[in-house]
């Protein structure tokens, strides 16, 4: 796969994993946790056996697919068969694939459970169970499904949990499912990757969209992800961005699976430059070329922030994350900073002039490139004509620049205002994630629409 050396989490967990130990592996986003659990799992697979031996559970369909693809690559030489099962796709086809004797299943909880109930998936020969994004998998929205799946897996299994975040209350739940788990944490000063530059912009709700447009104009990201709080938000933002001339599309849980996959594919191939997403795209997705993450809305909990901005700055690359905070939400910003142990730098919103400058620079770069490439003979006759006519080279070039530059667009757009997060500061202090108390108290400490199922729901529909 072209890897030259193990990343720290791989170096530390692979030997322990090969000894058969239960592990909780925590390391920053984009540092190779997939291969950290994938390599030893592949080594343990008996390819001559027709049974499912390893199961990996992931919180979203897109992540399940991505992890299965990475496992497929790792296991290609060993001829290990990997199958992804997830909701929103034809179950009959999955059943046919399951009959072909895959060794490793990667799936989302609802669909895995569905197959278990239909008896199309048997886990009684599973020796390794892995929860990717373990803290997310063990929060109240998923725990029932996970428990039900665990009941069908032999007790003498090895259990591996990986995530960039592992709040203490969730870790305590996790330990119930494990045998003397060893925690491997890559000690870092900060929870986020140092390669990600982190900024915040204090901006009133109604000004956010203009600020976002100008940021994109001045920073000209290669690929950018804009995170919004709700599905409506995502729809409105992607429409508004399109109106202003950006190639943007949205992804969230109310779209059909086919649409979700096609949007992601277009984004990966660069046909779409701006992906607007709910937290459905916050965890685990590994898309190269994402240079900027914009949090249009500050996330409701610090873990979500860590994962969202972690979509950039992966595998040694640099990235930039900019978080919009409405004045009343400044308390949340501080709580995020306490958890990540990293200050975000304040940033001034770019002005219209700066946005124009940014766009002019892009045009200049394009012209520069065209000059270097040469091959301009077919245009030189016309160029000379223009020169004869106007006798002023600067005016001609300025006109060319003007025609070629995408000026900062002021097309009016409608974005429904979202209420700021409630200012219940004290609940969040200590940086801990207390989502697991939801069920008992009837309260949701992390209140709001995280675009995922309600705590007790068991259906296969996920973010
Ligand atoms: N040893 C390695 N050397 C170089 N690149 C690697 C190595 N291991 C993994 N990678 C690559 O690094 C990228 C990030 O890996 P991966 O998605 O596993 O990160 P992660 O730690 O799971 O992040 P997240 O917390 O966001 O899920 C992938 O493209 C992967 O192929
Ligand atoms: Mg991962």
Q: What is the pLDDT of residue 382?
A: 93
Question: What are the Cα distances from residue 197, in Å, to 20, 44, 200, 345, 350?
Answer: 38, 39, 10, 9, 17
For residue 311, the ligand closest to its alpha carbon is 1
CA-nearest of 56, 54, 60, 55 to 460 is 60
- Enter the pTM of the model: 0.90
| DSSP SS3 for 441 | helix
C-alpha distance from residue 305 to each of 207, 281, 340 (Å) = 22, 12, 9
Q: Ligand 2: distance of its center to the CA of 67 in Å?
A: 8
Distance CA 10, CA 37 (A): 8
Specify the residue with its C-alpha closest to ligand 1, atom 8.
Answer: 32
What confidence tens digit (pLDDT) does each residue in 31-80 have?
999 999 999 999 999 999 999 999 999 999 999 999 999 999 999 999 99
User: Cα–Cα distance between 336 and 18 in angstroms, integer?
Assistant: 36
How many Å lie between the centroid of ligand 1 and the Cα of residue 225? Answer: 19
Ligand nearest to the CA of 319: 1
Which ligand gives the minimal distance to the CA of 310?
Answer: 1
- Considering only CA atoms, which residue is closest to atom 3 of ligand 1? 3
Task: State which of 1, 30, 281 you would mutate to test the pocket of ligand 1, scoring each by most atoms of that ligand within 8 A of its C-beta.
Answer: 30
Q: What is the DSSP letter of 381?
A: H
Contact 333, 363 (CB under 8 A): no
Question: How sure is the predictor about 431, in pLDDT bands with cuts at 50, 70 and 90?
Answer: very low
Contact between 340 and 190 (Cβ < 8 Å) = yes
- In sequence order, which residues have a C-beta less than 8 Å from that of residue 281 and are 6 or more positions away? 60, 62, 225, 227, 251, 275, 311
209-219 pLDDT, tens digit per residue, is 999 999 999 99
* Ligand 1 residue neighbourhood (C-beta within 6 Å): 3, 6-7, 10, 27, 29-35, 164, 284, 286, 310, 314-315
* 312-332 confidence digits (pLDDT tens): 999 999 999 999 999 999 999
Q: Which ligand 1 atom is nearest residue 66's CA?
A: 17
Q: The complex's ipTM?
A: 0.99
Ligand 1 atom nearest to 1, measured from its CA:
31
Nearest residue by C-alpha to atom 29 in ligand 1: 286
Instruction: Give yes or no for residue 435 having a pLDDT over 70.
Output: no
């Amino acid at each position: 796969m072209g890897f030259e050396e193990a990343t720290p989490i791989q170096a530390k967990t692979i030997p322990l994993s090969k000894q058969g130990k239960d592990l909780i592996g925590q390391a920053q986003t984009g540092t190779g946790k997939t291969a950290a659990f994938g390599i030893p799992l592949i080594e343990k697979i008996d390819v001559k056996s027709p049974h499912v031996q390893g199961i990996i559970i992931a919180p979203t369909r897109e992540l399940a697919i991505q992890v299965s693809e990475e496992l497929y690559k790792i296991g290609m030489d060993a001829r290990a068969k990997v199958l992804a099962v997830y909701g929103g796709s034809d179950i009959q086809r999955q059943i046919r694939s399951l009959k072909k004797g895959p060794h490793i299943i990667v799936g989302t909880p609802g669909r895995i459970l569905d197959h278990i109930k239909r008896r199309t998936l048997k886990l009684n020969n599973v020796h390794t169970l892995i929860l990717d994004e373990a803290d997310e998998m063990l929060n109240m929205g998923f725990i029932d499904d996970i428990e039900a799946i665990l009941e069908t897996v032999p007790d003498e299994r090895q259990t591996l949990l990986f995530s960039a975040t592992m709040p203490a209350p969730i870790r305590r739940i996790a330990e119930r499912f494990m045998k003397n788990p060893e925690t491997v944490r890559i000690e870092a000063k900060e929870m986020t990757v140092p390669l990600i530059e982190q900024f915040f912009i204090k901006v009133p709700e109604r000004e956010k969209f203009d600020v976002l447009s100008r940021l994109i104009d001045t920073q000209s990201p290669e690929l950018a992800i804009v995170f919004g709080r709700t599905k409506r938000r995502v729809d409105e933002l992607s429409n508004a961005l399109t109106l202003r001339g950006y190639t943007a599309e949205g992804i969230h849980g109310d779209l059909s699976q086919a649409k979700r996959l096609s949007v992601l594919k277009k984004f990966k191939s660069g046909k779409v430059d701006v992906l607007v997403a709910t937290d459905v795209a916050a965890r685990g997705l590994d898309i190269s070329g994402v240079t900027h993450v914009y949090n249009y809305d500050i996330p409701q909990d610090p873990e979500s922030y860590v994962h969202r901005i972690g979509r950039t700055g992966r595998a040694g690359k640099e990235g930039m994350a900019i978080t919009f905070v409405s004045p009343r939400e400044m308390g949340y910003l501080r709580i995020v900073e306490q958890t990540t142990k990293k200050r975000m730098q304040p940033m001034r919103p770019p002005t219209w002039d700066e946005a124009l400058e940014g766009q002019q620079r892009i045009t200049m770069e394009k012209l520069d490139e065209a000059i270097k490439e040469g091959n301009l003979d077919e245009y030189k006759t016309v160029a000379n004509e223009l020169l004869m006519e106007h006798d002023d080279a600067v005016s001609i070039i300025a006109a060319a620049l003007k025609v070629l530059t995408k000026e900062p667009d002021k097309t009016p757009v409608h974005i429904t205002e979202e209420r700021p997060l409630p200012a219940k500061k004290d609940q969040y202090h200590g940086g801990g994630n207390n989502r697991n108390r939801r069920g008992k108290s009837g309260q949701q400490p992390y209140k709001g629409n995280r675009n995922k199922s309600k705590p007790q729901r068991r259906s296969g529909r996920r973010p």
